[in-house]
Amino acid sequence: DDAAVAQILTYPNAVIGLSDGGAHVQFQSGYGFSTRLLSEWVREKGILTLEQAVRRLTFESASIFGLHDRGLLRPGMVADIVIFDPDTVKPLPLEVLHDFPTGAKRIKEPAQGIHMTIVNGQILLEDGKHSGALPGRVLRNTYYRAQHA
């Protein structure tokens, strides 16, 4: 129901995002939610502006989870950056891979129009190819950090 989804996407108290932390990679991935948001709900249907969608995916999500030093490109803030083409970004068909230990399967949801992902100042992905760098780390919200200081 597109009308219901549009209402949820534009509701200011709804958190836009999807993650199951890899728990169900054999059955679903959900990796394409952000590219689907940008292609279908921004570019094709005009439910959100590009700026609104990017803010919902970045700053608002980071703020809700207590990651107050992230989500904006601003001096002093930590920035992971995805460089994409708003005219071509979209999820591509799912692929089933058998690349886990013992040949276990997982679902991959590739994207079109994503040119580069930069994490902690290092290029992680460029035109779909992993650089070999592993600059990411587990993030803890401000409440957790205060309790474990």
Which residue type occupies 115?
A: H
- Tell me the pLDDT of the chain (149 aa) as tens digits: 999 999 999 999 998 876 655 666 666 667 788 999 999 999 999 999 999 999 999 999 899 888 888 999 999 888 899 999 999 999 999 888 898 888 888 888 889 999 999 998 899 999 989 999 999 888 887 788 788 87
pTM score, two decimals? Answer: 0.84
Sign (positive or negative) of CA dihedral 61, 62, 63, 65: positive
* Tens digits of residue pLDDT in 37-55: 999 999 999 999 999 999 9
